[in-house]
Amino acid sequence: MSKEHWDNSFSDTDYVYGETANVFIQDKSNIIPEHAKIGCFAEGEGRNAVYLATLGHDVTAFDQSEVGLDKTNALAAKNNVDVKTVALDLTKEKVLENQFDTGIMVFGHVPKSDQSFFINSLISSVKPGGYVMFEVYSEEQLEYGTGGPPAKEMLYDPKDLLKWISDYKVLHFYYGEAERHEGKKHSGDCHVIQVVLQK
């Protein structure tokens, strides 16, 4: 989806995905070393980045929408933390390799032709021994209609993800139902793919 699409979505005065971090990220954040350097990919309005910053981490949020990043900065200020923000099209520009202790991504949906590049950039941005964690909607989410893009082209196939992470130590892989209540855009039962790996 285009920068204009996300700028329009995030121009709402409310936080369209809420101000609370994704439940999966909250559940798995205890494996992250203290005072880690974390990159948050396709971070939107910053709820996950701000949550991780409140835990004492050094957080950088990447998104193509400067409107979303402005809201990230506002949410960080509200929570008395700092989050670095970087405007970047993650389907075209690769993030610098081996700089983070952990990389996260929540519902970062891009066209299938860009997914491999996007996931590889997320993984390569993390130092050897570091962690990568992400949650996305699977193609099955179309049947649920409780959030995410309304097109299979923008959703994930578990076989593709397993191929892209096959070189790493996979600590957690889940393909199935979950319940998500995140602002106005994610509400109810859904179908997700979750990954935690160690590089």
Indicate the burial class of 74 (C-beta count within 10 angstroms; 0-12, 13-18, 19 or more): middle
Residue 73 confidence (pLDDT) above 60: yes
The pLDDT, as a whole number, for residue 9 is 59
Domain range holding 14? Answer: 3-30+38-198
CATH number, domain with residue 67: 3.40.50.150
Helices 47-54, 66-78: axis angle to 10 degrees equals: 30
DSSP structure string for 75-103: HHHHTT---EEEE--TTTSPPPTT-EEEE
Residue 187: band (very low, low, confident or very high) from pLDDT cuts 50, 70, 90: confident
Residue 85 confidence (pLDDT) above 70: yes
Residue 1 confidence (pLDDT) above 60: no
| Structure confidence by residue, pLDDT tens digits, 20-51 | 999 999 999 999 999 999 999 999 999 999 99
pTM of the model: 0.95
Query: 176 phi and psi, to 5 degrees?
Result: 170, -165
Three-state SS sequence of 104-163: EEECCCCCHHHHHHHHHHHHHCEEEEEEEEEEEEEHHHHHCCCCCCCCHHHCECHHHHHH
The pLDDT, as a whole number, for residue 184 is 83
- The better pLDDT of the pair 15, 73 is held by 73
Task: Return the DSSP state at 57.
Answer: -
Mean pLDDT, the chain, as a whole number? 94
Q: What is the gyration radius of the CA atoms in the chain, in angstroms?
A: 15
- Distance (Å) of CA 14 to CA 7, 146, 183: 13, 19, 9
- Please give the structure tokens belonging to residue 160: 């593709």
The pLDDT, as a whole number, for residue 3 is 58
Does the CA dihedral 138-25-23-64 come out positive or negative?
Answer: negative
d(CA 164, CA 158): 10
The pLDDT, as a whole number, for residue 125 is 98
The pLDDT, as a whole number, for residue 8 is 61
The pLDDT, as a whole number, for residue 189 is 96
Residue 186: band (very low, low, confident or very high) from pLDDT cuts 50, 70, 90: confident
Residue 151 confidence (pLDDT) above 80: yes
Does the CA dihedral 57-62-67-70 come out positive or negative?
Answer: positive
For the chain, what is the domain count?
Answer: 1
Does the CA dihedral 130-134-139-140 come out positive or negative?
Answer: positive
- The better pLDDT of the pair 187, 70 is held by 70
Average pLDDT over residues 74-102: 97
